[in-house]
């Protein structure tokens, strides 16, 4: 192991050793569930590891607990959003006739796709997200979207370009992390 990698690993190990227990307790007090708290504490450190330049971040932390709490809050928000999405999916499934009920594998694939779409949409600004949804799910032409949003057609084109670029970046990141759908 090279010196910078060994240093980064020891910094991460020290950060984890010094603060993982505190973070689990902090999350447990907020969530009321020790199992969810443990999962989210783990997710927080995984997020930190996936952050570009994480070794420099770890080395420069003056207030590690504040930084970890911020990451944990974001992980908790994402977790709650996923739970709501899963609940909506289960409610939708409950309304389907048995004859058209998807298989367990299809349900899992659909839910995974919904999670990816939700993550992609969460990273967009409000008007960009609205333009994307109106175009892709309601089939509205750009002129109608512009009228609905109170912007120009040129702005809608820019919003759609931004949404498309963002979707591609999310897909590339998923593929790089090994979570992409094929």
Residue 25's pLDDT is what?
96
Domain count, the chain: 2
Q: Rounded to whole angstroms, how far apart are CA atoms 170 and 182?
A: 14
Are residues 56 and 114 located together in one domain of the fold?
no
Taking residue 85's Cβ as centre, other Cβ atoms within 10 Å add up to 15
Instruction: Give the mean model confidence (pLDDT) for residues 59-72.
Output: 88
Tell me, what DSSP letter sits at residue 101? P
Query: Has residue 96 been placed in a domain?
Result: no
The answer to whether residues 109 and 60 belong to one domain is: no
Whether 7 and 58 map to the same domain: the answer is yes
> Range of 13's domain?
3-80
Q: Is the pLDDT of residue 179 over 70?
A: no
Tell me, yes or no, whether 73 lies in a domain: yes
Q: Which of 80, 113, 129 is the last residue of a domain?
A: 80
In a domain, 138, yes or no: yes
Please indicate, yes or no, whether residues 16 and 62 belong to a single structural domain of this protein. yes
Instruction: Assign 157 a pLDDT band (cuts: 50, 70, 90).
Output: very high
Q: What is the pTM of this model?
A: 0.66
DSSP string of 11-45? HHHHHHHHHHHHHHHHHHHHHS-HHHHHHHHHHHH
> What is the per-residue pLDDT across 88-141, written as a single tens digit (0 to 9) for each?
988 988 998 988 999 999 999 998 888 888 888 888 889 999 999 999 989 999
Query: Domain for residue 63, yes or no?
Result: yes
Amino acid 127: pLDDT: 94
For residue 31, being part of any structural domain is answered with yes
> In this prediction, what percent of the chain has a pLDDT beyond 70?
91
Between the alpha carbon of residue 4 and those of residues 41, 64, 125, the distances in Å are: 26, 20, 37
Q: How confident is the model at residue 181 (pLDDT cuts 50, 70, 90)?
A: very low
Please check whether residues 71 and 114 belong to one and the same domain: no
Query: At residue 161, does pLDDT exceed 80?
Result: yes
* Diameter of the chain measured on Cα atoms: 61
Residue 94 lies in a domain: no
pLDDT the model gives residue 1: 47
Sign of CA dihedral 21, 26, 28, 29: positive
């Amino acid at each position: 192991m090279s010196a910078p990698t060994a240093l980064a690993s020891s910094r991460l190990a020290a950060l984890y050793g010094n603060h993982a227990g505190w973070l689990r307790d902090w999350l447990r007090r907020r969530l009321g569930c020790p199992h969810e708290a443990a999962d989210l504490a783990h997710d927080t450190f995984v997020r930190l590891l996936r952050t570009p330049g994480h070794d420099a971040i770890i080395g420069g932390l003056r207030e590690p607990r504040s930084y970890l709490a911020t990451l944990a809050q974001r992980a908790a928000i994402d977790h709650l959003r996923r739970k709501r999405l899963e609940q909506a999916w289960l409610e939708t499934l409950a309304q389907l006739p048995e004859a058209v009920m998807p298989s367990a594998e299809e349900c899992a694939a659909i839910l995974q796709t919904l999670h990816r779409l939700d993550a992609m949409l969460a990273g967009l600004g409000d008007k960009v997200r609205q333009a994307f949804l109106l175009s892709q799910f309601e089939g509205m032409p750009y002129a109608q979207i512009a009228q609905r949003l109170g912007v120009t057609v040129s702005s809608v084109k820019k919003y759609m370009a931004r949404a498309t670029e963002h979707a591609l970046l999310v897909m590339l990141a998923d593929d790089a992390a090994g979570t992409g759908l094929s």
